[in-house]
Structure 1
């Protein structure tokens, strides 16, 4: 029984497995559409009731799927703490938090229902490559995030030094200066906060040039990793 369930749940080579995959994918997309409709301001009580019952149905199916995946896994704990295991849990957790812990502060967890879209990664080869690519470059990405954090702090401290006296309302501390540093390093530049001193403008120029490099590095890493992931898939198919 366990082997039959594993074949259906974890493989799409059989007709039953293919139908299971299509059903879960359809349910994921339908639940996301229902979540979107739920945000409409003029929904009638009947519509709200229908959406609620559909959400209950989705959560029941996703909960059964989650339990079955734990049951058929060779190493249940490994699945539970894996990328897919966490995503599967996040797909159902907001419902239970809202239902059994109906606290206003915890209702924010409902937004995590959008994580259901990541469940589609399991069922799509192209999307699966992103998972493979992430595993290939996760150490480089961690290093990149560390360096970005360092540059963010340097930018925040630097602009604070140049602009604090001229604009104390915007650059009152290094922490407050972090907003300017973030939008400048990412080259977004909202224009709501900007330097007015000569030193601040020169410093901003260097930060903007640095930001261009910060934007291009992860793009290059991901593109390279996706290319490697495709080659790995092709080699596996040949073998």
Structure 2
């Protein structure tokens, strides 16, 4: 029995497994659309009731799916703490927690329902390739994140010394300067905080050039890892 359920619940080439995966994907999309419609003002009571029934049905199916996946897993504990195991739990947890929580806290809990859309990653081959690529390049990505954090800090310190006297309201401390450093290194540049001194402008130009390179680095790392992942499949 366990083997039969596993052939259906997990992704296989048999017909029942394909039907099950299509049904779950459809239900995920339906629940996400229902969640979005709930935010519309002045909904009819009948519409709200229908959305509630969709939510109940979705949670029942997702809960059953979650426990079936635990039942057929080779290592149950490993599945529970895996990426998709946690996503599956977060997809249903808000519904059950809402019964014992003050109504004013429901908005924050309802936001967690959006984790359901991440369940689609289990049924998408491209997403599986992406996950494999991230895992294979995790050391390079962690190194990149570490270097980026250092650059952000040094940028905040640099602009603080250039602009503190000229704009004490915007660059009153290194911590206030971090916002400028982040939006500049990421080349977003909202324009709410910008340098006015000559030294600050030259320093900003240098940081922008570094930022352009920083944006390109992870793209190259992930692209290379994705190519390897696809070739290995």
The TM-score, its normalising length taken from structure 1, stands at 0.93
Residues 12, 21 of structure 1: 8 Å contact kept: no
Match of 1:237 in 2: none
Q: What is the CA-CA distance between 1:33 and the residue it aligns to?
A: 0.9
Q: What is the CA-CA distance between 1:44 and the residue it aligns to?
A: 2.1
Residues 132, 229 of structure 2: 8 Å contact kept: yes
Match of 2:182 in 1: 182
Secondary structure in structure 1 of the residue aligned to 2:137: helix
Q: What is the CA-CA distance between 1:86 and the residue it aligns to?
A: 1.4
Match of 2:38 in 1: 38
Distance 1:214 1:110 in 2: 35
Distance 2:224 2:41 in 1: 44
Q: What is the CA-CA distance between 1:40 and the residue it aligns to?
A: 1.4
Report 1:11-26 matches (<5 A). 11-26=11-26
Instruction: Give CA deviations for 1:74-101 in whole Å, capped at 9, x if unaligned.
Output: 1011111111111111211222233322
Structure 1 residue runs of 4+, over 6 Å off?
Answer: none
Residues 87, 118 of structure 2: 8 Å contact kept: yes
Distance 1:225 1:200 in 2: 38
Match of 1:55 in 2: 55
Secondary structure in structure 2 of the residue aligned to 1:99: helix
The TM-score, its normalising length taken from structure 2, stands at 0.95
Residues 98, 107 of structure 1: 8 Å contact kept: no
Q: Note if 1:138 corresponds to 2:163.
A: no
Q: Note if 1:232 corresponds to 2:222.
A: no
Change (3 A) 1:8 1:217: same
Distance 1:165 1:106 in 2: 46
Match of 1:65 in 2: 65
Distance 2:188 2:139 in 1: 26
Q: What is the CA-CA distance between 1:106 and the residue it aligns to?
A: 6.0
Distance 2:102 2:140 in 1: 41
CA RMSD of aligned residues (A): 1.4
Change (3 A) 1:173 1:44: farther
Q: What is the CA-CA distance between 1:11 and the residue it aligns to?
A: 2.8
In the alignment, structure 1 segments of 5+ residues that lack a partner are 234-239
Match of 1:163 in 2: 163
Distance 1:32 1:38 in 2: 10
Secondary structure in structure 1 of the residue aligned to 2:191: coil
Distance 2:140 2:191 in 1: 32
